[in-house]
Chain A
Amino acid sequence: MNVFRLTGDIAHLLAIILLLMKIWKTRSCAGVSGKSQMMFALVFTTRYLDLITNFISLYNTTMKMIFIASSYGTLYLMFLKFRATYDSNHDTFRMEFLVVPVAGLSFLVNHDFSPLEILWTFSIYLESVAILPQLFMISKTGEAETITSHYLFALGSYRALYILNWVYRFYFEGFFDLIAVVAGCVQTVLYCDFFYLYITKVWKGKKLTLPA
């Protein structure tokens, strides 16, 4: 464990809590992409199957369980409890355009052709693009609530911090996972436009709106 990974994990946890709190407090999931959230639940489910086969640490097990539970909790709030507030008209990104190619790629490019390893690879690839429906939704409506933009900033920062963690681990532990690093860089790049808008608008007290 190093400081980058720890702060990355904390940012990730913070993002998930922020989203749950936003939905709970406002009793609404308006502006949140149910498709991105479904894919995140799929990401955690396929990645953390090793909860059953491997024990790494109490920290690792606890965080994995929190991530899985919270992703399904978010889906419950969005698709059952506050279903009436779900903005499906604006959530029109086609998930199959991401899930199908990512599934194909995880069969072709992986560390080991075994079920758990392929599912782990699938989750890494899917995570890198799972935010696209959310970003697409914001580009369609032209704006995001401030709390939603805080959520996205925390969520994007997490993988950026992981990149620093991988640089650290490469130099100090000789650890290098090409699949995670490439996917993590792709994931972070997808946020760059959002990061720019967030820093130039939300940090100056304005709402996140897209230039016309």
Chain B
Amino acid sequence: LIGSRKKDEL
């Protein structure tokens, strides 16, 4: 999984 996906980190 590279980058652009749902951002779950803060």
Is A27 on the interface with B (CB-CB < 8 A)?
no
Q: How large is the interface on B (under 10, 10 to 19, 20 to 34, 35 or more residues)?
A: under 10
B1–A63 touching, CB < 8 Å: no
Complex: how many Å from CA A63 to CA B7?
A: 13
Is A87 on the interface with B (CB-CB < 8 A)?
no
A177–B2 touching, CB < 8 Å: yes
| Number of A-B residue pairs having CB atoms within 8 Å of each other in the complex | 37
* Interface hits, A39-98 → B, CB 8 Å: 47, 50, 54, 56-57, 60, 63-64, 67
A178–B3 touching, CB < 8 Å: yes
Q: Interface on chain A toward B: helix, strand, loop, or mixed SS?
A: helix
A64–B4 touching, CB < 8 Å: no
Q: What number of A residues sit within 8 Å (CB to CB) of B? A: 26
Instruction: Pick from B4, B9, B10: contact of A117, CB below 8 A.
Output: B4
Q: Interface on chain B toward A: helix, strand, loop, or mixed SS?
A: loop
Q: Which of chain B's residues have a CB closer than 8 A to the CB of A64?
A: 10
Minimum Cβ distance to chain A for residue B3 (Å): 4
Q: Which of chain B's residues have a CB closer than 8 A to the CB of A5?
A: 9
Is A35 on the interface with B (CB-CB < 8 A)?
no
Complex: how many Å from CA A120 to CA B10?
A: 11
Chain A interface residues (CB < 8 Å from chain B): 5, 9, 12, 47, 50, 54, 56-57, 60, 63-64, 67, 111-112, 117, 120, 162, 165, 173-180
Q: Show 26 A/B contacts (Cβ-Cβ < 8 Å), sorted by A.
A: A9-B10, A12-B10, A47-B7, A54-B6, A54-B7, A56-B6, A57-B8, A60-B8, A60-B10, A64-B10, A67-B10, A111-B2, A112-B3, A117-B4, A120-B7, A162-B9, A165-B9, A173-B1, A174-B1, A175-B1, A176-B2, A177-B3, A178-B2, A178-B3, A179-B3, A180-B9
